[in-house]
Structure 1
Amino acid sequence: MSYLKFDKTVMINLEESLRREILRTNRNGAYHCTTVVDCNTRKYHGLLVMPLPELDDDNHVLLSSLDETVIQHDAPFNLGLHKYAGNNYNPKGHKYIREFTCDTVPRTVYRVGGVVLAKEKVFSLYENRIMIKYTLEDAHSDTTLRFKPFLAFRNANSLAQENGSVNKLYQDVPNGIKTCMYKGYPDLYMQFNKKVKFVFEPYWYNGIEYLKEQERGYPYKEDLYVPGYFEVPIKKGETIIFSAGVGPVATNQLKKLFVQEAEARTPRTSFYNCLKNSAQQFYFRPKEEDAYLLAGYPWFKVRARDLFISLPGCTLSIDDPVRFEKIMHTAMPAIRNFMQTGKGDGVIREIEHPDVFLWAIWAIHQYARAMGINKAQTLYADFVGEIITYFRDQKHPDMKLMENGLLFAEGRDKAITWMNSTINGKPVVARSGYIVEFNALWYNALKFYKELAGDKADESADVLINKMDTSFVETFLNGYNYLLDSVSGGYVDWSVRPNMIFAVAFPYSPLNRVQKRAVIDIVTKELVTPKGLRSLSPKSEGYRPNYVGTQNERDLAYHQGTAWPWLFGAYLESYLKIFGKGGISFVERMLISMEEEMSLHCIGTLAEIFDGNPPYTGRGAVSFAMNVAAILRVLEMLKKYNAE
């Protein structure tokens, strides 16, 4: 039985099927994303969406969708589905769906009278190309398939409107055509593995609506251009493969290419395999010699903090240390360049944020724990030492080392932490001064540096550690036995926030066991939800649990009560550290709700955020690297505890 399977009752119920999305990506940052019924509900959805660096820094939707029509006895049965005004869906092809599975590749089975047609999709790992395989599993009379491509050729952040500037010209290519709607875009090649007839019949489909954009308060109507349609006869048992890409393909190799691409995927046959598959979809390699992690899909790019937080889970926890080394090898020169020149990186964004370098050390620490201290010393000892020296010598423009050994960061006027939502350029959560996770990271980094450098360690590290053993607790621990989120002069942020949990989760901590237990207790009582830790306690002023409404309303809620699964990683790691084997059953229970997400929202992965109150609806990006990585790390920890 398939792990990810949806029957007819789910598929024909649009309230159920339209909220379930699928995502397939490649190493170039291109992707295919839509709903399980192939009805686009976001402007970011499409069969072929890809970055075009020659145009701008965004993704672009080339091929929005492909409507299939089954023709028997001259009677057409259209399998497509689009939303129009008045909650009108047309042509309602979802009513023919009998089941959808997504173990290896997305597979939809349609039944139209006596016709049973299976559709499977793969997205090429290294080419910007989608391939769709159609197999006629049953038919009692002659059958023809018609394919109608809906073209967009637009920035993924905008919407297309009917216009007179579109280039309607096309050229025949082997078993298909190539066309390009606008100057500056690449040609789109649409080809089949057998000879087809193309009928040139240009037409604009106006007023297609995107439900998710409407919910988010954005423009949501668009016009899509259809240049015509393809027709091809198909026999019972026959397979036809459609390819859409920005380069030609050897059509006689399409079947072989499809099989090769499908076999390269991790089958999504379990919770772990779903997360492993999802982790691999964040791998990004714009140049052959480089390697990165994208922060999420469909709109995030490479972000420095996200990269380092996600790195151990997306590589080490799925037994891929070589990938860790490649990504770190790419990232280290960018950090060194910033430390030397103060200049950012062209690919890794937000590298200037003061905690980024400390998260890099944390990631290396995880590598050392997985691969051994000797290997970590060989690869990364010098790099870690450079970062420690950089902070010790007061060189970071937004972080200062104080006499008490703590780091002080200026964040009143700009967002410098992971709680980075802004309105009119000002941070919604102005975390400034002594920031709790910054200093937990700093303490852990100093201790790990001593472990890594051994006899070569700078003696000043011991001095700083000794100071922090006292100053951290004096600064952050309050009379209610939880940690203050930030302290700046006379201003103290008493809000109960999840950032304190890192002082428990990290391998080295200035807290004693009693203090750690107290932190876990208050986090458990006020911040834990089935989908992650709330970014703010319901008892704290300004609690906004629902990420809905206009952009400003959502920005206000982003870190003021929404639940973040990536914080579960630190929380559950802390829980296991304190309670040992006695905490295993609790952690396993907490992961049940995470596994439920494999068949909800974007199937097989984890959404960016969840509402902080029931029913804990998933919001934001459909797939988020830090969340996937954190839960993979928890699964790895559980495996080790159970083995012991």
Structure 2
Amino acid sequence: MPDLDTREWLLTNGLGSFASGTVSDVRTRTYHGWLFTATNPPSGRTLLFSHLEASLEVLGSVVALGTNFWGNGQIEPTGYQLLRSFDINPVPKWIWGQDNWQLTRQLVMPYGFVGTEDCGEEGISNAPCSIPHAQCPMPNAPIQFCDRILIHYRYEGSHPAILRLRLLIAERDFHHQQTASAKLHFSQLLGKQQVCLQAINSGRFGIPWHLRWTEGNYQPDAVWYWHYGLPEETKRGLSDKEDLYSPGYLIVTLQPGDAVTLEARVGFPDSMLSVLTPKTFAEAVEAEQDRLSQIFGWREGDRNQFKIQNDARGLANAALTKFKIKELLPPTSSLPLPITPYPQRGPHLPHSQLWQQLLKASDQFIVYRASIAGPTVIAGYHWFNDWGRDTLIALPGLALVPQRFDLAKGVLQTFGYYCRQGLIPNAFPDVDGEPIYNSVDAALWWIETLGLYLEATQDWDFLAEQFPVVQQIYKAFVGGTHFNIQVDATDGLVSWDAPGVALTWMDVVIGSHPVTPRYGKPVEINALWYSALCWLSQWAERLSQFEYGSSARLTKQAQRYTQQAEHVKTSLQKFWNPQLGYLYDTIEPDDRRNFQIRPNAVLALSLQHCGFSVQQGCQILDLATTSLLTPYGLRSLDPGDPEYKGKYEGNSEQRDRTYHQGTVWAWLIGPYIRAWQRFYPQQSLPFDWQPLLDHFLSDACLGSISEIFDGDLPHTPRGAIAQAWSVAEVIRHIQ
């Protein structure tokens, strides 16, 4: 695979639906395809449309433009050898060519949340409805979703050409591969410039969808293609073979300068749909840039940088991230920065464009959840759903820094509404039912993030609305709640003890055995508890001044919270290890100390209210800098620890055992920076942003940041290719 560029791209639509693939246009994962539709947003993701296998005939010579891995290890055809360039901005764009012709393909996935009928939400141009379903004045109003992808081909050459596009389709859960079976059939109904497709599996009808096009003649030609190979799944020790079905192909005769646009859309054909025209694709790209512009307040001049441009010179002049496969564009004085030729990595962008690309990346994680009728945050692509802890940690970077305050408020309001027994959900169900409450820290992160929201907005009415939830959390932690979560009356610290579960962010469980149990009193949990008590004291005092309740009662509450905070601050010294100059990771139920060097000590220094001295903070950071800091984030365990694992690879169990045992987590760079700025305010940050920004621009998933990296050099990116809190923490600190 030396000539194959398997870096990845990602398109999303705000519903959990997505499209993804590689620069070389070869599918390497189960999660690669052009239309994964979220049947129960953002979940129930199902592959319907894998891709179009393209070939081009010019002067009687036929060239195949596709590239496929096969189960026997072969690569065929080898269309990647004709690939001249690839662009990621504003939408994925490939250019194949030879001496006398050039074919361009672009993809766009329009925003899928249309809104509700007769509801106050605007829909397309705004974020999803932020009103919790139970509080919505019109909870039964129908919500309109639209899952679709547009594909645009443009031909340039000295002679006419014939483009042949073969459909490859499926209907399967996005975690699993499709296998040809006598029980699996696909029906197709051909209409005028469109075909409607639907799977029938063991007599059960699947999801209807249709493909339509502006030009061409469709030929039904049903055939199975067996044993596509998926090498990334092979590396992960998972099933790695796929069968795809082709119902037929489209033939398009193209004169030089001609173009054809196709649209794959979930649902049966509708005569009320707008007509597909040659302008539809450009209009969809412009609509998406307008939507982002409205969200982030980009100036008109900034928005123009993201307008679709049809020629390679225009893209280069716009200084957009470009990856030249075969050759570099001729030099020109109009280029503000040089374009880095393939295979070198790391193009540089002006700060304003880098900032816009980071904001664009952040928007991919904001989705609508049908079960709560409100916004949530996908933790990562391709395989994650939304998680409470991840959402709350990511929210400052995803919503507060970009000033998406309504989004932040809606998420906080939703989580607050579902608070039960003092716990905030760590996951919502995909169907009707109670959320999942399996986190000791989600409630504390909710208070911390609520505090940051209030500091940013001064929205004290919202504080008054949410203060009963705050008090519910406080009372539950003090009095005791699920998983034996309770404040120890002797020292005021939060403890928990429940077999077979892992309730902190280090949450891997294999069978019924947590890899990093952390029972007892974890250090970052108690740092969060201290910060929460400080917030409660401030809020009770403020509410007493604003007469949101009984002034005398609130003042007494503020005094009590302050006294408890001071007690906890004193008890936090139990975590101090003077021999090591670091914090114990946990105080276990039998009062033993865990002295492993983990990043949780840095987390404890990074919160709005910190209970450790300057001297302690500096010593902790000094050791974390030498033991945990890498160019991509913090290791989850010191390399000198006998339990350290330097590479995240192997089968599922092997990877799970490595997940928090040395793997680098990109999101932890945010807490490290906040702690550094607190304890070393006059010293330069000992962290070079460039490797992480190079990764964002030109590695793994182009235009996003991976979940994790190997602890060992060269710190290979691993895990999810795009992770919400990784992007969020960069946004929070890169300004």
TM-score normalized by structure 1? Answer: 0.91
Shift of 1:591: 4.9
The sequence identity of aligned pairs, in percent, is 26
- Distance change (3 Å), C-alpha of 1:68 and 1:451: same
* Partner residue in 2 for 1:642: none
TM-score normalized by structure 2? Answer: 0.80
- 3-state secondary structure, aligned to 1:125: coil
- Distance change (3 Å), C-alpha of 1:341 and 1:466: closer
- 3-state secondary structure, aligned to 1:252: coil
* Partner residue in 2 for 1:50: 37
RMSD between aligned alpha carbons? 2.4
Shift of 1:541: 2.0
- Distance change (3 Å), C-alpha of 1:81 and 1:314: same
User: Is the contact between residue 530 and residue 593 of structure 1 (CA under 8 Å) also seen in structure 2?
Assistant: yes
User: Is the contact between residue 79 and residue 96 of structure 1 (CA under 8 Å) also seen in structure 2?
Assistant: yes
1:450 to 530, 537, 541: 537
- Distance change (3 Å), C-alpha of 1:476 and 1:376: farther
* Partner residue in 1 for 2:692: 593
> What does residue range 194-343 of structure 1 map to in structure 2 within 5 Å?
194=215, 196-247=216-267, 248=269, 250=273, 252-263=275-286, 264-265=288-289, 267=306, 270-287=353-370, 289-335=373-419, 337=420, 339=422
1:147 to 165, 175, 179: 165
Q: Which amino acid aligns with 2:369?
A: P
- Distance change (3 Å), C-alpha of 1:557 and 1:397: closer
2:154 to 107, 116, 135: 135
CA distance in 1 between counterparts of 2:373 and 2:712 reads 45
Q: Which moved more, 1:564-573 or 1:462-471?
A: 462-471
> What does residue range 423-434 of structure 1 map to in structure 2 within 5 Å?
423-434=510-521
* Partner residue in 1 for 2:573: 473
* Partner residue in 2 for 1:519: 620
- Distance change (3 Å), C-alpha of 1:373 and 1:191: closer
Aligned residues: 617
CA distance in 1 between counterparts of 2:493 and 2:213 reads 63
User: Is the contact between residue 303 and residue 350 of structure 1 (CA under 8 Å) also seen in structure 2?
Assistant: no
User: Is the contact between residue 632 and residue 691 of structure 2 (CA under 8 Å) also seen in structure 1?
Assistant: no
- 3-state secondary structure, aligned to 2:189: strand
User: Is the contact between residue 50 and residue 60 of structure 1 (CA under 8 Å) also seen in structure 2?
Assistant: yes
CA distance in 1 between counterparts of 2:405 and 2:466 reads 14
- 3-state secondary structure, aligned to 1:167: strand
User: Is the contact between residue 388 and residue 427 of structure 2 (CA under 8 Å) also seen in structure 1?
Assistant: no
User: Is the contact between residue 354 and residue 398 of structure 1 (CA under 8 Å) also seen in structure 2?
Assistant: no
- Distance change (3 Å), C-alpha of 1:261 and 1:324: farther
Q: Per residue, is there more helix in 1 or in 2?
A: 1
Shift of 1:251: 6.1
- 3-state secondary structure, aligned to 2:25: coil
- Distance change (3 Å), C-alpha of 1:261 and 1:185: same
User: Is the contact between residue 190 and residue 245 of structure 1 (CA under 8 Å) also seen in structure 2?
Assistant: yes
- 3-state secondary structure, aligned to 1:291: strand
- Distance change (3 Å), C-alpha of 1:210 and 1:330: same
Q: Which moved more, 1:64-73 or 1:513-522?
A: 64-73
Shift of 1:427: 0.6
Shift of 1:368: 2.2
Question: Which runs of 5 or more structure 1 residues have no equivalent in the other structure?
Answer: 1-13, 640-644
User: Is the contact between residue 293 and residue 302 of structure 1 (CA under 8 Å) also seen in structure 2?
Assistant: yes
CA distance in 2 between counterparts of 1:142 and 1:64 reads 28
Q: Which amino acid aligns with 2:281?
A: F
* Partner residue in 1 for 2:722: 623
Shift of 1:594: 3.7
User: Is the contact between residue 13 and residue 110 of structure 2 (CA under 8 Å) also seen in structure 1?
Assistant: yes
- Distance change (3 Å), C-alpha of 1:411 and 1:309: farther
Residue 610, structure 1, aligned to residue 610, structure 2: no
Shift of 1:443: 0.4
2:640 to 539, 550, 571: 539
* Partner residue in 2 for 1:367: 453
- Distance change (3 Å), C-alpha of 1:622 and 1:466: same
CA distance in 2 between counterparts of 1:213 and 1:603 reads 20
- Distance change (3 Å), C-alpha of 1:193 and 1:594: same
* Partner residue in 2 for 1:160: 178
Shift of 1:601: 0.3
User: Is the contact between residue 647 and residue 658 of structure 2 (CA under 8 Å) also seen in structure 1?
Assistant: yes
- Distance change (3 Å), C-alpha of 1:581 and 1:147: farther
Shift of 1:293: 0.6
User: Is the contact between residue 411 and residue 433 of structure 1 (CA under 8 Å) also seen in structure 2?
Assistant: no
* Partner residue in 2 for 1:494: 595
Residue 556, structure 1, aligned to residue 657, structure 2: yes
Q: Which amino acid aligns with 2:628?
A: L
Question: Which runs of 5 or more structure 2 residues have no equivalent in the other structure?
Answer: 113-145, 293-305, 307-319, 321-348, 545-553
Q: Which moved more, 1:560-569 or 1:364-373?
A: 364-373
CA distance in 2 between counterparts of 1:425 and 1:124 reads 42
CA distance in 1 between counterparts of 2:72 and 2:29 reads 17
1:510 to 598, 608, 611: 611
* Partner residue in 2 for 1:575: 676
Shift of 1:504: 1.1
CA distance in 1 between counterparts of 2:466 and 2:100 reads 63
- 3-state secondary structure, aligned to 1:162: coil
Shift of 1:341: 12
Shift of 1:367: 1.2
1:118 to 104, 111, 114: 104
User: Is the contact between residue 368 and residue 375 of structure 1 (CA under 8 Å) also seen in structure 2?
Assistant: no
* Partner residue in 2 for 1:104: 90
Measured against aligned partners, the alpha-carbon deviations of 1:556-592 in whole angstroms (never above 9, x if no partner) come to 11100000011110001111222225325x34x2454
1:358 to 424, 444, 447: 444
Q: Which amino acid aligns with 2:501?
A: K
